[in-house]
Chain A
Amino acid sequence: MGWAIALHGGAGDIPVSLAAERRKPREAALRHCLKVGVNALKAQKSPLDVVELVVRELENNPHYNAGRGSVLTREGTIEMEASIMDGNTKRCGAVSGLTTVVNPISLARLVMEKTPHIYLAFDGAERFAREQGIETVDSSHFITQENIERLKQAKEANRVQIDYTPPIQKDEKKETPTANGDSQLGTVGCVAVDSHGNLASATSTGGLVNKMVGRIGDTPIIGAGTYANNLCAVSATGKGEAIMRGTVARDVAALMEFKGLSLKEAAAYVVEECVPRGNVGLVAVSAKGEVTMAYNTTGMFRACATEDGHSEIAIWPSVQN
């Protein structure tokens, strides 16, 4: 039994032909965030601190759909949400509808620690952010050109995009087009366990491209996008509506508890049986220091490491040898 950590930057129909200039910065970010997390675990930081730290890094990275780099609502605005959960105590915090908070995951943590509530949203959450003195900036800080493009395409196609597909370059070929041409990415998250079996999970997102203003997805919903108890910690990504009705994060833990499945079996079962194909991915760690990363999409930006030296950074299914 040792520490373990896993993080994701979104599951979806990531084309294997993804251009290098799009793939490399994301891989580099995964590598960097994994390192941040591993170093923190080695320095004996609590898993709760570790997952917050890693998700903050992902939020700050403009290539992922969280914090800076968040996708845009149909009005071209930013509405971010996040949640965090501590496995030991099952204390949790969640936020939605943030427009100026640089690190939504940190505000979620403050809700957990500084209020008698679990979940604050929109104006009330923004007001709380100011009371707490957490870093806020003008909303334009979060908006990237890529996302302006994505919104434009989504509007042209009149669809809500579950992802942030690379804005289509004329010469880019997509090898695996889905029925509606979207690749499905979105949301970042991190789960961690220390050598004492303490678990934590954190998830953060800008939501769906072209979503209705006020739309809340699975990310801030405890049991859907985020869950941690004394058995495991789970963070999910994909189509929010599907993850919500599938209570994905909770179900992984429930299968372990009630059916005695292992972490890997439970995660595989949930992504294969509980949510339609092409809709979900998740990362999870167990109290025993195991790690699993499962998805039913073409790929998932992900990384993991365990104390015994294993580490992995990947986008598509790993080749088994």
Chain B
Amino acid sequence: MGGWAIAVHGGAGVDPNLPPHRQEEAKKLLTRCLNLGISALRSNHSAIDVVEQVVSELETDPLFNSGRGSALAANGTVEMEASIMDGNGRRCGAVSGLTTVKNPVSLARLVMDKSPHSYLAFSGAEDFARQQGVELVENEYFITEENVGMLKLAKEANTIVFDYRIPAVGSDTCSAVAESRFQMNGLPISVYAPETVGCVVVDSQGRCAAATSTGGLMNKMNGRIGDSPLIGAGTYACNLCGVSCTGEGEAIIRGTLAREVAAVMEYKGLGLQEAVDFVIKERLDEGFAGLIAVSNKGDVACGFNTTGMFRGCATEDGFMEVNIWE
């Protein structure tokens, strides 16, 4: 194979009854972001630049759960986190607890490039953002009406909402909820679905990179950190591959999912798809998650044990696919 490859995701775990127009909306966004990445790759941008650019675009769009459109924490505010890793040298950057930074993934990149550290959080991260002169906005900017509604539902149910999916109609969905058998984090998928975003790229020089960004769990305790900013869990890249995960944060963390894909390639000699399949099958126990990955050979793969994952991928030889279901 060889050549560049790119994959993007908008979350693993999709309501099988998701209305067609919502499915179309999601596919359109994924396609647009994929094309953005493809264009950059054709212009010879490096993998690390491409993943940042694509995730940044996903953050700016209110559709998925990152940047604008992030899920709300228990106190009704948005707390965002992200991480980015450059397989070439395994440098990494991560941020958590952001409330005013318009593009968390870009701040994560700055942590990697412009600070002596790899991970900054909460007020320290916000201070760093100010020093770096990145674009800052009021917390309200990130909050959408949809999510305000979802938070309310979550509080009424007094449970953590995994991410969100607006019920098509209030009471109808409640019965649909009762009938829905697929659950994530103890909640029916028809109401709650995860929509962390991510991108993985291998550029024409065979360098891999990965980035992941999220607002986290709806109704999460303020201060809760999930898998997305954790290197080895939500994000990982080395000279062999780049991986970005989404799904039940707690399952991804204890499974060190992103690192796992790379580790089986490195230590067991598995190919990319084999590694992805192995990890999804063997490393999730009762947890639900999905991931996208690229290899330095130009392969792209995805895997998930959820009902659906919003995703798209493309390779230099012209292959391109945007999908939600199996």
Name the segment of A139-147, A206-214, A304-312 touching the other chain.
A206-214
Q: Is B21 an interface residue (CB 8 A)?
A: no
Q: Tell me the dominant secondary structure on chain A's binding face.
A: mixed
User: Given known contacts A244-B231, A245-B91, is B263 in contact with A121 (CB within 8 Å)?
Assistant: no
Q: Contact at A124–B249, with CB atoms within 8 Å?
A: no
Q: Contact at A122–B123, with CB atoms within 8 Å?
A: yes
Q: How far is the CA of A60 from the CA of B46 in the complex (A)?
A: 48
Q: Contact at B119–A244, with CB atoms within 8 Å?
A: yes
Residue in B97, B116, B264 whose beta carbon sits within 8 Å of that of A122 in the complex? B97
Q: How far is the CA of A90 from the CA of B287 in the complex (A)?
A: 12
201-256 of chain B: CB within 8 A of chain A: 220-226, 230-233, 236, 249-250, 253-256
Please name all residues of chain B whose beta carbon is closer than 8 Å to the beta carbon of A128 when the two chains form the complex: 221, 223
Q: Contact at B223–A121, with CB atoms within 8 Å?
A: yes
Tell me the total A-B contact number using a CB cutoff of 8 A. Answer: 150
Q: Is A123 an interface residue (CB 8 A)?
A: yes
Chain B nearest Cβ from A239, distance in angstroms: 10
Residue in A119, A224, A240, A241 whose beta carbon sits within 8 Å of that of B232 in the complex? A224
Residue in B91, B124, B256 whose beta carbon sits within 8 Å of that of A247 in the complex? B256
User: Given known contacts A92-B253, A118-B250, A128-B221, is B124 in contact with A244 (CB within 8 Å)?
Assistant: no
Q: Contact at A254–B118, with CB atoms within 8 Å?
A: no
Q: How far is the CA of A202 from the CA of B267 in the complex (A)?
A: 26
Q: Is A222 an interface residue (CB 8 A)?
A: yes
Q: Is B324 an interface residue (CB 8 A)?
A: no
Please name all residues of chain A whose beta carbon is closer than 8 Å to the beta carbon of B41 when the two chains form the complex: none
Residue in A125, A217, A246, A259 whose beta carbon sits within 8 Å of that of B119 in the complex? A217
User: Given known contacts A223-B233, A250-B232, is B91 in contact with A117 (CB within 8 Å)?
Assistant: no
Name the residue of chain B whose CB is nearest to the CB of A250.
B256
User: Given known contacts A128-B223, A212-B115, A259-B267, is B259 in contact with A121 (CB within 8 Å)?
Assistant: no
Please name all residues of chain B whose beta carbon is closer than 8 Å to the beta carbon of A221 when the two chains form the complex: 119, 230-232
What 1/0 flags go to A75-109 for Cβ under 8 Å of B?
00000000001000011101011000000000000
Name the residue of chain A whose CB is nearest to the CB of B267.
A258
263-294 of chain B: CB within 8 A of chain A: 263-264, 267-268, 285
Q: Is A174 an interface residue (CB 8 A)?
A: no
Q: How far is the CA of A90 from the CA of B257 in the complex (A)?
A: 13
Please name all residues of chain A whose beta carbon is closer than 8 Å to the beta carbon of B231 when the two chains form the complex: 221, 224, 244-245, 247
Q: How far is the CA of A94 from the CA of B119 in the complex (A)?
A: 15
Q: Is B6 an interface residue (CB 8 A)?
A: no
What 1/0 flags go to A16-50 for Cβ under 8 Å of B?
00000000000000000000000000000000000
Q: Contact at A115–B122, with CB atoms within 8 Å?
A: no
57-110 of chain B: CB within 8 A of chain A: 85, 90-92, 94, 96-97
Q: How far is the CA of A122 from the CA of B85 in the complex (A)?
A: 24
Name the residue of chain B whose CB is nearest to the CB of A241.
B118
Name the residue of chain B whose CB is nearest to the CB of A123.
B223
Q: Contact at B119–A115, with CB atoms within 8 Å?
A: no
Please name all residues of chain B whose beta carbon is closer than 8 Å to the beta carbon of A55 when the two chains form the complex: none
Please name all residues of chain B whose beta carbon is closer than 8 Å to the beta carbon of A224 when the two chains form the complex: 231-232
Residue in B121, B224, B249, B256 whose beta carbon sits within 8 Å of that of A97 in the complex? B121
What 1/0 flags go to A255-288 for Cβ under 8 Å of B?
1001100000000000000000000000000000
Q: Contact at B92–A250, with CB atoms within 8 Å?
A: no
Q: Contact at B97–A121, with CB atoms within 8 Å?
A: yes
Please name all residues of chain A whose beta carbon is closer than 8 Å to the beta carbon of B130 when the two chains form the complex: none
116-161 of chain A: CB within 8 A of chain B: 116-125, 127-128, 160
Please name all residues of chain B whose beta carbon is closer than 8 Å to the beta carbon of A213 when the two chains form the complex: 123-124, 127
Q: Is B182 an interface residue (CB 8 A)?
A: no
Q: Contact at A122–B121, with CB atoms within 8 Å?
A: yes
193-222 of chain A: CB within 8 A of chain B: 211-217, 221-222
Q: Contact at A122–B160, with CB atoms within 8 Å?
A: no
Q: Contact at A222–B233, with CB atoms within 8 Å?
A: yes
Q: Is A52 an interface residue (CB 8 A)?
A: no
Name the residue of chain B whose CB is nearest to the CB of A160.
B116
User: Given known contacts A245-B90, A247-B256, is B121 in contact with A120 (CB within 8 Å)?
Assistant: no
Please name all residues of chain A whose beta carbon is closer than 8 Å to the beta carbon of B264 when the two chains form the complex: 258
Please name all residues of chain A whose beta carbon is closer than 8 Å to the beta carbon of B160 when the two chains form the complex: 116
Q: Contact at B118–A121, with CB atoms within 8 Å?
A: no
Please name all residues of chain A whose beta carbon is closer than 8 Å to the beta carbon of B123 when the two chains form the complex: 122, 213-214
Q: Is A182 an interface residue (CB 8 A)?
A: no
Chain A nearest Cβ from B17, distance in angstroms: 26
Chain A nearest Cβ from B201, distance in angstroms: 18
Q: Is B125 an interface residue (CB 8 A)?
A: yes
Chain B residues with CB under 8 Å of chain A are: 85, 90-92, 94, 96-97, 115-125, 127-128, 160, 185, 220-226, 230-233, 236, 249-250, 253-256, 259-260, 263-264, 267-268, 285
Known: A118-B249, A128-B223, A250-B259. 16 other contacts (CB 8 A): A92-B253, A115-B221, A118-B254, A121-B225, A122-B97, A215-B124, A222-B230, A222-B254, A224-B231, A227-B256, A245-B85, A247-B232, A250-B263, A254-B267, A258-B264, A258-B268
